[in-house]
Amino acid sequence: MRVMENTSRRDTLKAIGAAVIATQARPILGANDRINLAVIGIGGRGTAHVNEYGKLDCHIAALCDVNQAAQERAVALVQKNNGHAPKVYSDMRKLFDDKDVHAVSIATPNHWHALATIWACQAGKDVYVEKPVCHNIFEGEQMIAAARKYNRMVQAGTQSRSSPHKMQAMKLLREGAIGKIYMAKGLCYKRRPSIGRKPDQPTPPGVDWSLFLGPAPMRAFNENRFKYNWHWFWDTGNGDIGNQGVHEMDVMLWGASVTKFPKSVVSTGGKMVYDDDQETPNTQISTFTHDGLELVFEVRGLVSPEEGPLRARGSNVVGNMFYGSDGYMAVDGAGFWLYKGEKRELAMEGKASRGENAPHMDNYLKAIRSRKREDLNAEVALNVLASDYCHLANISYRVGHSLAWDAQKKKFNDAAADAMISRKYRAPYIVPEKV
């Protein structure tokens, strides 16, 4: 009994010590204090982060990337836009040790999102993390736990949540503008050319390939697994349902007022037309079962027609459809269109008034100052749910049949599917069981 008491006391003291250290690492910012921010992952999306934050009320204090060429381009961009040279890191762990950095914005490949967020929270940094926030279902739970334990502001990069016309459209749906919603669809008809086939090769100079892979298994360098095309491999990406599609998945759940897991999921499709290195499907249809509501999500990377009132934007048709007892609504990045009655007459429309990135990032910076989680438009738990819907669909697709899901036990009715809830992590890049 004495041993148990001593062990308990030691555990308590450790917990108190960890809390004190975490608190010491958290700067207390006043309303007029400068937020020193670091961007982690400065490829295409990270470059957009550098450009957007450079216009907002923060100071880009540091940059981090495993690619020296990307570092140099980003430093030059900050110097051009903001007139100063930020600190540069290759390993994010060293950045997290930097007490001058208050917050981070993560635009790494998907397989790094969870661990980078957890490490940042443990280091007392607030976090903006691109979508999908997690690479698998287990990781999402750990991210929420870390955000809560260390009292961090964690904003998901689902910019629709800060888009005025989409916010108006979702409000109309909740108020019953089309009656009772019986079906919602997410559409990701985004044109994706074939990536072809490429041989393994030596890692290019200036690239830390082991750091790029991080939690993923070690593999030989391949250009098709590197810049952007990492999306199409299960080790690092989640296919287009977890790339472009997670935006529309989030809007689908938002508009249909879905806040819980489905009872079951079935996802079918394949890699059509192309014979190349891509592992993930370029054609995929997923259906999620709820009482009194049908949710459907479609991915097409090939030439696809318009869908109802949604217009093609270049080669793409990307948006959402909501069907109700009194009408239906279409929503995309350009606006929304509400149709009523048996004659399906246009009753209301709204147009996009501005871009989504800057308002969403500005919302994140304001929440850093307020320290109120409810001020975040896309608090991490919201996108964990949307990301998990993508993961449920991909798991069904990969096992090849429909799956029942027990949301309480976080288990499927299938051992092969259960094995995909998490992954085998490559040490030392392990998402912890306890954060």
The CATH class of the 163-354+387-418 domain is alpha beta
Count the helices and strands in the chain (H runs, E runs): 12, 16
Q: What is the CATH number of domain 2-160+360-379?
A: 3.40.50.720
Site of tokens 């919603």: 181
Tokens representing residue 25 in the block: 């690492």
Q: Where in the chain is the domain with CATH 3.30.360.10?
A: 163-354+387-418
Average pLDDT, stretch 95-118?
98
* Confidence check: pLDDT of 5 > 60: no
Average pLDDT, stretch 206-213?
98
Beta bridge pairs of residue 293? 290
Whole-prediction pTM value?
A: 0.92
Average pLDDT, stretch 64-89?
97
Contact 428, 288 (CB under 8 A): no
Site of tokens 């903001």: 82
Cα separation of 51 and 55, whole Å? 7
* Confidence check: pLDDT of 334 > 50: yes
Binning pLDDT at 50, 70 and 90, where does residue 186 land? very high
What's the confidence (pLDDT) of residue 27?
Answer: 54
Tokens representing residue 208 in the block: 């830390």
Cα separation of 158 and 424, whole Å? 27
Q: Where in the chain is the domain with CATH 3.40.50.720?
A: 2-160+360-379
